[in-house]
A and B are shown apart, each in its own frame.
Chain A
Amino acid sequence: MKALVFSRKPARYAAAMVAGALRPGKGARFGPLTLRDVDPPEPPNAAASAGSNNNDDWVRVRPRLSGICGSDLATIDGKSSRYFEPIVSFPFTPGHEVVGELDDSSRVVVVPVLNCAVRGIDPPCDMCAMGRINVCERTAFGCLEPGLQAGFCESTGGGWSTSMIAHRSQLVPIPDDLSDEAAVLVEPTACAVHAARHFGDSEVAVIGAGALGLLTIAALSYFDEIAPGRLVATAKHPDQRFWAKELGADVVCAPGELDRVVRTLSGSMVLDNGQLSCGFDAVIDCVGSEDSLAQALRIVAPGGTIHMVGMPGVTTVDLTPLWYREVQLRGVYAYDHHDEHGDDFATAIELVRDKDLGRLVSALYPLARYEDAIEHAANAGVRGAVKIAFDLRDERERKR
């Protein structure tokens, strides 16, 4: 079958770092990502499972569309933290935003988190037992090779291919009225839903209007719990401004204007160094950069919370305000399966339908044009795009 494969090749990884630093997305050309013919992944050996997992629990998924996520881009451009090394297995096929088709032709979205249930670990870890599969404590163990998600695990394959495997617990059926374009946004929308819960009647600033930022805005607006007129978002590019407004932001400003907007809306005073005396109760960082985190620290209110939704890397930032103003820094990763407020994926499907989020899919590429696709995704904002995905529906190998 045809698949994009990311191998452990340090020299090429270094080349990707250099190329990616010069122009985002160029890591695809110079790095360890290649398009290959490979054997399809097979269900794991049931004997390796200590629990109830067996081959019948696994199904083949033929991806129809598979999105390109910020974490994929960070990996390809050599910007990912080495923190992930023990929970990734090489070579792997990227792609965890997947809408695919089963052998019976039914369509599903894959929940890519490789938690205890998927790994055949029974009893599950404490986190999985609570339904918090996103923070599973066994992502490097069980019947699968290490991998925090499908798309980073050698055993399962990933969405950037014509075939992958998934555990039945990972499958979310897609209603017929949802297009593939809408369905491919369910997984990132579930991340946004997870991030957007529990804000209550607070003021929220969302930093970043990439795909994740926009989906977070949509989710916040969907939950309708934000104080009226108090959902503020930053957007660098005109199309991002449009989408941020369209999806529910009350105020959209340029990143450089956010401090002043928050100052105005919070009635804050300003110290000589630009530090606000108060700020917003909640800041959602959907960028994950040094600058965005520093800005979040500047605009968050004393006792407020910064929600890190965008994947950060190694970052240098002055944490004095975190300490001095008793600010909470909350990591937000993936989604819960059985959150007390309901399943994040189920909510995401409703949200995708309600806000017609399929509109955010800006371009589809065949696997053969992966370099173009990744460069487009890495420069989506500048090029007026939001979500770029691979279209595997017409790949010949898929029909074998």
Chain B
Amino acid sequence: MPRPGFVLDVDRSTPPIVFHHGEGFRLEKLPAGRSRVLYPGEPLAALDDADAAIRHALDHPLGDSEPLRALLRPGMKLTICFDDISLPLPPMRRPDVRQRVIEAVLDQAAAAGVDDVHIIAALALHRRMTEDELRHAVGNRVYDAFAPDGLLYNHDAEDTDNMAFLGTTPHGEEVEINKRAAESDLIVYVNINLVSMDGGHKSTATGLASYRSLRHHHNVQTMLDSRSFMDRHASELHRSNWRMGKVLKDAGIKVFQIETTLNNDTFGTSGPMSVLQKREWEWNARDRATFLTMKAGLDRMPLKARRAVFQAWKAPYGVTSVQAGEIEAVHEVTTQNVFAQQLVEVQEQTDVLTMGLPYISPYNVNSVMNPILVACLGLGYFFNMYRGAPLVRQGGVVIMGHPTTWEFHPVHHPSYIDFFEQVLADTTDPKEIEARYEKQFAEDEWYRHLYRTSYAYHGVHPFYMWYWACHGMAHAGKVIVVGGETRSVRRLGFSSASTLQDALEMAEDVVGRQPTITHLHNPPLVMADVKVATA
């Protein structure tokens, strides 16, 4: 029986805690008596037979939906869309759950005589997936059957001839999605719900959308009004997507949603990485030796080699659930399954929130974790891993550990370089950035060209990363990066500290002496269900 996540109060006997630190680790001793560590739950049991569970889900849909096979008929247009390279993190070992689901859907489509099938990577404004990445996601069999005929491809949000405008929400939000999907008799969306932000109407309304549509919820105000975007019911991001989902439905778009959840088995139960999934005070001598050997080896390796080692890691996730059918009914169950793995109740907020940022974020798979992604991962994703209230109090301090090197992947992140060099050199204020620079980057022909023909994130994407972090930036009184490259950290508008102890000293200038500290021991993923006593 896997143990759930929990909160450890740090005392004098608590050993140093592992902080992820990019392509490496730091061991940090947290002050006793006022620190606590939020541990993720142990991996939930995986489904014994994921394929059978998939077939069962297709045949027993949730909500107001017929089984998939009843929706399939000869002569129909079927479009299968799937989550892109940004999920899951790290990528999962083969077979990827998307492959399993897509194969099951194709089996039923073939049985029903459906022969007009397109498969689309729903990547919105993310970079295009390479052939290897597509093969990894959908499997060789599917890839070889569809890609050579141009029937398996990446969504292109800048292909204006192949985008369909479907209307506006009562809030004036324009809804525009991939034309092939919009003109299909049925969209089957294949999702991986790694965190509670994923899925639901966001799959189609965001994954297949264009800048024209995305700008209505990928903006500063929406992010500031999402408390947090990991909690759908408190998230303006999701309210906007749900409104767009209604426009899609009213326009006659029929979506059969298939959502899957994964357990926390990120680093496995054997091999050196498995120690990262254990709680430090439970390490035996072998675990300690393994960790120290691994750390020493990594510390001596050149960055490129370390990056190659980490990026090659494929997680042995187990599939914990598969839901299919009507979007909202499916997503309610999916979210509960995500919470069952990740949610941990935490009493009261903290003065100082610490986090060790790993080597990967949704936007640097097989790539470089540049400083903007560091900010996004820490103040966007990790900070928002809460329900109820942020883990850190208003005006508190967020301390993030990451090397934050001034380095960018020139192919994947060209507009990030310009954003970092030109925009952040001018201002770090999200609203000012949005007002003065977003349109220019979003409509830049060169970025468009690279997004469409190379493997570049869209020109506007670094802005979204910055917006993702704006709730955290507005909430925190100070952000400190431990062990980061000082000039990069300064460019982000944060403070730099060499050690955690220095950072805690700096934090005291903001939150006072002897602050309470909470460490988010992430990954594997953990989400805080913060309970704040009412006065």
Contact = CB atoms under 8 A, between A and B. Distances in A.
Contacts of B445: 267, 269
A310 B294 CA distance: 54
A260 B446 contact: no
A261 interface: yes
Contacts of A264: 418, 422, 440-441, 444
Contacts of B444: 264, 267
B407 interface: no
A267 B444 CA distance: 6
Contacts of A257: 421-422
A257 B449 CA distance: 21
A251 interface: yes
A311 interface: no
Contacts, number: 30
B contacts with A: majority SS: helix
A268 interface: yes
A30 B422 CA distance: 43
A253 B449 CA distance: 25
14 contacts: A251-B426, A253-B421, A253-B425, A254-B421, A260-B417, A260-B422, A261-B418, A261-B422, A263-B446, A264-B422, A267-B445, A269-B445, A269-B449, A270-B446
Interface string B328-368: 00000000000000000000000000000000000000000
Interface in A232-260: 251, 253-254, 257, 260
B440 to A, nearest CB: 7
A263 to B, nearest CB: 7
Given A253-B422, A253-B425, A268 B446 contact: yes
B77 to A, nearest CB: 36
Contacts of A253: 421-422, 425
Nearest to A254: B421
Interface in B12-32: none
3 closest Cβ pairs, A-B complex: A257-B421, A269-B446, A264-B418
A contacts with B: majority SS: mixed
A268 B447 CA distance: 10
Interface residues of A, number: 12
A269 B446 CA distance: 5
A331 to B, nearest CB: 31
B421 A260 contact: yes
A251 B421 CA distance: 11
Nearest to A251: B422
A281 to B, nearest CB: 19
Contacts of B425: 253
A250 to B, nearest CB: 10
A101 to B, nearest CB: 45
Contacts of A270: 446
Which of B422, B440, B444 lies at the interface centre, i.e. has the most chain A CB atoms within 10 A of its CB?
A: B422
B407 to A, nearest CB: 14
A269 B448 CA distance: 10
Which of B421, B426, B444 lies at the interface centre, i.e. has the most chain A CB atoms within 10 A of its CB?
A: B421
A232 to B, nearest CB: 10
A267 B417 contact: no
Contacts of B426: 251
Interface in B394-430: 417-418, 421-422, 425-426
Interface string A262-296: 01100111100000000000000000000000000
Given A253-B425, A257-B421, A261-B418, 6 more contacts: A260-B421, A260-B422, A264-B441, A267-B445, A269-B446, A269-B449
Contacts of B449: 269
A269 B418 CA distance: 14
A92 B500 CA distance: 62
Which of A254, A261, A264 lies at the interface centre, i.e. has the most chain B CB atoms within 10 A of its CB?
A: A264
A254 B425 CA distance: 11
Interface string B190-227: 00000000000000000000000000000000000000
Nearest to B443: A267
Contacts of A263: 418, 446
Which of B418, B440, B446 lies at the interface centre, i.e. has the most chain A CB atoms within 10 A of its CB?
A: B446
